[in-house]
Structure 1
Amino acid sequence: MYTIQYVTAGIYGHWCIIVLPGASPKDGTSHLADNVTSCAKKRRRDSGQPTLSQDGSGNILAFTYSQSVARRRLIKWIIKRELPFNVIEEPEFASMIKESFCPQFVAFSRHTVRSDIVKVFKEEKTKLKEVLLAFDGKICLTSDLWTSNQNLGYCSITTHYVDKYWKLQKKIVSFCNIDSPHTGDAIFTFIIDKLKKLGIFEKIFSISLDNASSNTVAFSFFKTILPGLPLNGRLSHVRCCCHVLNLIVTDGLSDDAFKEPIHRIKENLGFIFGSTHRYQYFRDACTNVGLPPKRQPVDVKHRWNSTYEIISGTKCVDTSESVHNEIFRLYDEYVVISQNNVVDTPTSSANNVATSSTSGYNSAWAFLQTQINNVSGSASNELQRYLSEPILTEFDKEFDVLSWWRANKQRFPILSMMARDVLAVPVSTDASESAFSAGRRVLSDYRSRLVPPLVEASVCLKDWFEAEDRDIAIQKEEESIIGLEMEFLNLD
């Protein structure tokens, strides 16, 4: 009997130094070949061994594969892309990962995906609760109801607040099944229960609901129990501006003077665009008169593009200067039409704005300027100093009202905190509508068997993952700003 010290460099880039027993030189080398195979398998299972890798900037890093990290990253991919859970079981997917990216990857089933989603949802919800509890400002809510293709009712609750970086945050905190009937009392009880579990009961500043009578009843209960509502809740029930405008326009268009012309226009448009042959004739006619041929948009009852671009938003404040000025202009035109008792064209209405009840102010800024001019005093307090500032009436698309308040928070410490709370108030229920759109994709005709807890986990996690990606970008931007400020101080 003798032993052989065998040294080999395997295909996985490591050295194997072992002592193998042997009987005689005539025994061959099959046992050595067996060791190469078995050693390679052991090497493949050694997930703790780091390997060299590169980041996006080309820096060399030591990378250690982790199956748990890989599973979590795949969960994020599935949730953000709203993919079916069984995508992980497709043979092509597993082979692509193992052969092209990571041989150490171990495939798992859709059942593992389901349990991982529930686990990650609980972890992320705990983190969100900690963030909301640590937040020192006020929180605004948006809530609405939706009926799924399973004929189950869901209640969406979304929080809005301006964080420490003066960026608007929107987080869906609940997307749960709510039992029928959806009365005002049931809606109130459901939302209050969720707020108490999150621990943000005393931080609520406003609640944005649509104009359903049950929501009005629900808010009447909120006013009696929520302690932080300003002015005893008189300004905290924010009606959805999109719904209000829709009701106004619908009521106006129901007049007999409008019905017949609008009906004819719709019929003609439907006839033109109902055939590719007729649509081509329409395009040729537009070209002949020097007009760009455009396909007219299909009617959308609750949202128009012009209104959506001005009012609806989840990543920027809704109570912006454009909203105020636009509502002011609409109000002026409405007054002109009411006073004259005629239907004016947009041009004639614009020309008559100066004769409206606002005494000639053609914008909200002109009206505000006259109010500020009436302020008397020596500008000794913060409010007077703020009102004595020149008004910004010209804005470009890059103007950020939150950035302005952040830059001036040292000059107006109290007003800036008030602005942070007020500017977070959503003037529409767009956040809920966005959540319902995600719900329709999660609960599609091909995925209608998902139970409500998994629906909530999928909708909420997608929203939180997207917010996490935005936060990373914000933090990088913040670090860049701090770096520039430090360089500026060093120059001094």
Structure 2
Amino acid sequence: MTMASSNTPIPVDDGFNEYESAVKRQKSTTSKVWDEMTKLDCENKNELKAQCNHCKTIFSAKSSSGTSHLRRHLNSCLKKVNKDITQYTIAIQPSPEGVPSIKNYKFDADECRKAISTFLVCGKHSFRTVEEPAFRYMMRIASPNFKNISRHTAARDVLMYYAKERDRVKEELAKAPGLICLTSDNWNSEHTNDEYICVTAHWVDKDWKLQKRIIRFRALFPSYDGLNIADELILCLSQWGIDKKIFSITLDNASYNDVMVSSILCDGAFFQVRCCAHILNLIVKAGLELADDVVGKIRNGIRYIKKSGIRRKRFYDVADKSFHLNVTKKLRQDVCVIWNSTYLMLESSLYYKDVLDYWGQRDKDYQIFALSNEEWRNVVILCKFLKVFYDVTCIFSGSNYPTANLYFRGVWKVHKILLDTVKGSYSFLTPMVKQMQEKFNKYWAEYSLILSCAAILDPRYKLNYVQYCFNTLYGVHASDFVETILSNLRLLFDEYVKKSKSTSSSLGGSCNVSDKNPVDSGLDEHNDNSADFGGYFDESDDYKRYLNESSTRSEKSQLDIYLEEPELELNSQIDVLDYWSKSLIQYNELSLLARDLLAIPISTVASKSAFSMGKKVITPLRSSLKPKTVQAVVCLDDWMRVKGFSAEIGCKKDNEDDDDDEDDEDDDVSSVAF
């Protein structure tokens, strides 16, 4: 193998330039007559024909003949039908942000192609859709001037659309007023066996709104270890120009993530945060293993009922007519590896408890799954116990609102219920809770300092709430925990104060130094006599230093003033970002610190939700899609969400369940469980 010369630059496939090539492959502009003419296939390939779309007249379309005769015909034909192509108008209904909403506008082929790209991406449609006769019929009715495109052209359009939107997102990241937080996770496609990495950026914009964008959904090259993933992440940050703006990264507790983070930490430039939802998942699963008997009965019983369409229909008929239940709330079948789907299954079984008992009395095959009264009582207790974990997981899994400030209260609730339950009277829960406590102590023996600081910056909690929680849990040892958190918050705040002062001094240093105070100028004229007093001495600098020191000693910091103010009501519904945006004048540096801390996501759900989308993009029939096309589709779908095209992936409400769509019942919990 020959080595490259040291003087020869080695090209780097950075994942950006590959999309620019799609623009270069774009065909040169053709004559406008083909917007109104259709090329016909002939037996003799050397002979080409064209048919007018209006009068259906057929003409020769040889390249040697040119298009002048076709243009002359169109001018005559369009006059007859009283239709001017250049002024053709269509009606547009109110639409999402970024799309023309005027009622009349000139037909624009580029805008139409862009709309088709949006349709394909946000609807997870195959590129082959544009070649289906029904789609082309729809387009011909909606826009007679639109020229049909092939699936290859549609794919190139999506890549070009991605390239344009990528530049816009890159500009948004560059303009982010604060630091940027990341979430990252890996996913393996079962159809292609490719390992994908998803990186999502989170930040608070100038309007103090939490933003998130997927900036990478790219296939990795083997081996999938921490060092290779670190290289991929570093390359990603460099491409987007945000390698100097990263504040934190949220990951699950996979071992390769520790290797990855240790290799890219820039002298502690950003924090590593464990995915709290993932840790909660491990804790609850450890406990549920010991309650598998009663859970297994319910799981198998529901599977038996739902396995037959006739049984399922009869079950809901009995529930409706005999027990007068709302059958839009369905029996849920869990996914064994997703604990919160198990909780939802238990909850739904309690709702249909009477119906299930009734069914067990009349169906001999179901009797082996029927629960006794004592088992039902245990299910009720177990459900109440798991509800705390379910609620905390749902709160932790949010991606459209700040979660860092909610971390401390959520963890405290989990810790408190474990302590209370192990001392309680429910003996059947004791072994399970002890198992869960071991997992809890393993992952949360020490509360995350950076996220505890974020809790203090929530005006509902502040320091008093943190002290209360630690006093409840640790008694006399609580002060050590509180002091550690507070000292770290002060250190972090001091960094923001220094940064603010350096920024102010750099701005002040740009002033014109020749603009002197007249009095100072008069004093400077006598500086020659200063030698009589033992050499030159300018007391003004020393006096300013004295004033700064005395000011520092006498004035309280913004953090101290904030902590001394009374807390808001504990359960009040407030927008924490809105609170700090309004406090920007009063707490300048502290508001900037709060903005960055509150942008930290405490779960990787924002990245994991992309995998649900990835499963719909990479299907058995679309397993040949190139990785760059997959990235373009996934990222575009996420970016279009901001414009209102795509709905956020999340849990369905009970009244939205569709019993005929079993896959949806599994998907609706995958976005918050792991």
TM-score grouping bracket, smaller chain normalisation: 0.7 to 0.9
1:277 alignment partner AA: R
1:336 is aligned, of 408, 420, 428, to 420
1:94 alignment partner AA: R
Structure with greater strand share of residues: 1
Gaps of 5+ in 1: 1-31, 230-235, 350-363, 472-492
Partner of 1:37: 77
- Equivalent residues, number: 410
Give the deviation of 1:439 after TM superposition: 0.7
Gaps of 5+ in 2: 1-71, 96-100, 345-389, 434-459, 469-478, 487-552, 647-674
% of aligned pairs identical?
A: 32
Give the alignment of 1:178-189 within 5 angstroms: 178-189=220-231
Q: Measured at CA, do residues 238 and 344 of structure 1 come closer, stay the same or move farther in structure 2, by a change above 3 Å? A: farther
Partner of 1:312: 397
Give the deviation of 1:181 after TM superposition: 1.7
Give the deviation of 1:451 after TM superposition: 0.8
- SS at 1:63's partner residue? coil
Is contact 1:206–1:238 with CA below 8 Å preserved after alignment? yes
Is contact 1:140–1:426 with CA below 8 Å preserved after alignment? yes
- SS at 2:620's partner residue? coil
Is contact 2:580–2:591 with CA below 8 Å preserved after alignment? yes
Q: Measured at CA, do residues 117 and 41 of structure 1 come closer, stay the same or move farther in structure 2, by a change above 3 Å? A: farther
Give the deviation of 1:95 after TM superposition: 3.0
Q: Which moved more, 1:404-413 or 1:180-189?
A: 404-413
Give the deviation of 1:50 after TM superposition: 7.4
Q: Measured at CA, do residues 456 and 226 of structure 1 come closer, stay the same or move farther in structure 2, by a change above 3 Å? A: farther
- Corresponding position: 1:103 with 2:119: no
Give the deviation of 1:173 after TM superposition: 0.5
Is contact 1:243–1:302 with CA below 8 Å preserved after alignment? no
Give the alignment of 1:200-349 within 5 angstroms: 200-223=242-265, 225=266, 228-229=269-270, 236-255=271-290, 258-275=291-308, 276-277=310-311, 280=314, 284=318, 295-300=330-335, 301-302=337-338, 304=340, 306-307=390-391, 308-321=393-406, 323-337=407-421, 343=427
Is contact 2:89–2:105 with CA below 8 Å preserved after alignment? yes
Is contact 1:204–1:226 with CA below 8 Å preserved after alignment? no
Q: Which moved more, 1:382-391 or 1:282-291?
A: 282-291
Q: Measured at CA, do residues 466 and 206 of structure 1 come closer, stay the same or move farther in structure 2, by a change above 3 Å? A: same
2:640 is aligned, of 459, 465, 480, to 465
Is contact 2:226–2:257 with CA below 8 Å preserved after alignment? yes
Is contact 1:272–1:279 with CA below 8 Å preserved after alignment? no
Q: Which moved more, 1:274-283 or 1:455-464?
A: 274-283
- Corresponding position: 1:431 with 2:606: yes
Is contact 2:196–2:217 with CA below 8 Å preserved after alignment? yes
Q: Measured at CA, do residues 341 and 108 of structure 1 come closer, stay the same or move farther in structure 2, by a change above 3 Å? A: same
Partner of 1:405: 580
- Corresponding position: 1:388 with 2:564: yes
- SS at 2:155's partner residue? helix
Give the deviation of 1:443 after TM superposition: 0.7
Q: Measured at CA, do residues 212 and 320 of structure 1 come closer, stay the same or move farther in structure 2, by a change above 3 Å? A: same
1:410 alignment partner AA: I
Distance 2:338 2:253 in 1: 12
Partner of 2:464: 368
Distance 1:389 1:287 in 2: 58
Q: Measured at CA, do residues 296 and 440 of structure 1 come closer, stay the same or move farther in structure 2, by a change above 3 Å? A: same
Is contact 2:302–2:333 with CA below 8 Å preserved after alignment? no
Give the alignment of 1:8-87 within 5 angstroms: 36-37=76-77, 39=79, 44-46=84-86, 49=87, 56=94, 63-87=105-129
Distance 1:418 1:366 in 2: 15
1:262 alignment partner AA: V
- SS at 1:446's partner residue? helix
Give the deviation of 1:324 after TM superposition: 3.8
Distance 2:80 2:147 in 1: 16
- SS at 1:254's partner residue? helix
Partner of 1:135: 176
1:112 alignment partner AA: T
Is contact 1:312–1:428 with CA below 8 Å preserved after alignment? yes
Partner of 1:166: 208
Q: Which moved more, 1:375-384 or 1:142-151?
A: 375-384
Give the deviation of 1:328 after TM superposition: 1.4
Is contact 2:197–2:218 with CA below 8 Å preserved after alignment? yes
* TM-score, normalisation: structure 2: 0.54
Instruction: Give a deviation string over 1:399-440, Cα, whole Å, max 9, x none.
Output: 322222222222222222111111111111101211111111
Q: Measured at CA, do residues 269 and 85 of structure 1 come closer, stay the same or move farther in structure 2, by a change above 3 Å? A: closer
- SS at 1:197's partner residue? helix
Q: Which moved more, 1:282-291 or 1:60-69?
A: 282-291
Distance 1:33 1:199 in 2: 54
Give the deviation of 1:453 after TM superposition: 0.6
Is contact 2:180–2:203 with CA below 8 Å preserved after alignment? yes
Distance 2:102 2:202 in 1: 40
Q: Measured at CA, do residues 289 and 94 of structure 1 come closer, stay the same or move farther in structure 2, by a change above 3 Å? A: closer
Is contact 1:337–1:344 with CA below 8 Å preserved after alignment? no
Distance 1:315 1:407 in 2: 20
Q: Measured at CA, do residues 78 and 404 of structure 1 come closer, stay the same or move farther in structure 2, by a change above 3 Å? A: same
Instruction: Give a deviation string over 1:269-315, Cα, whole Å, max 9, x none.
Output: 44454455388468747987887675443224346263553221222
Distance 1:52 1:284 in 2: 52
Is contact 1:88–1:110 with CA below 8 Å preserved after alignment? yes
Give the deviation of 1:150 after TM superposition: 0.6
1:402 alignment partner AA: L
Is contact 2:404–2:601 with CA below 8 Å preserved after alignment? yes
Distance 1:43 1:454 in 2: 40
Give the deviation of 1:389 after TM superposition: 2.6
Instruction: Give a deviation string over 1:11-50, Cα, whole Å, max 9, x none.
Output: xxxxxxxxxxxxxxxxxxxxx999641646996553xx47
Is contact 2:187–2:611 with CA below 8 Å preserved after alignment? yes
Is contact 2:198–2:214 with CA below 8 Å preserved after alignment? yes
Is contact 2:183–2:250 with CA below 8 Å preserved after alignment? yes
2:283 alignment partner AA: I
2:296 alignment partner AA: H
1:194 alignment partner AA: C
Give the deviation of 1:199 after TM superposition: 1.1
2:590 is aligned, of 415, 418, 425, to 415
- SS at 2:199's partner residue? strand
Q: Measured at CA, do residues 108 and 391 of structure 1 come closer, stay the same or move farther in structure 2, by a change above 3 Å? A: same
Q: Which structure has the greater CA radius of gyration?
A: 2
- SS at 1:83's partner residue? coil
Is contact 2:303–2:333 with CA below 8 Å preserved after alignment? no
Q: Measured at CA, do residues 366 and 417 of structure 1 come closer, stay the same or move farther in structure 2, by a change above 3 Å? A: closer
Distance 1:384 1:330 in 2: 30
Distance 1:470 1:108 in 2: 23
Is contact 2:234–2:243 with CA below 8 Å preserved after alignment? yes
Partner of 1:117: 158
Distance 1:378 1:330 in 2: 42
1:191 is aligned, of 225, 233, 236, to 233
- SS at 1:156's partner residue? strand
Is contact 2:200–2:212 with CA below 8 Å preserved after alignment? yes
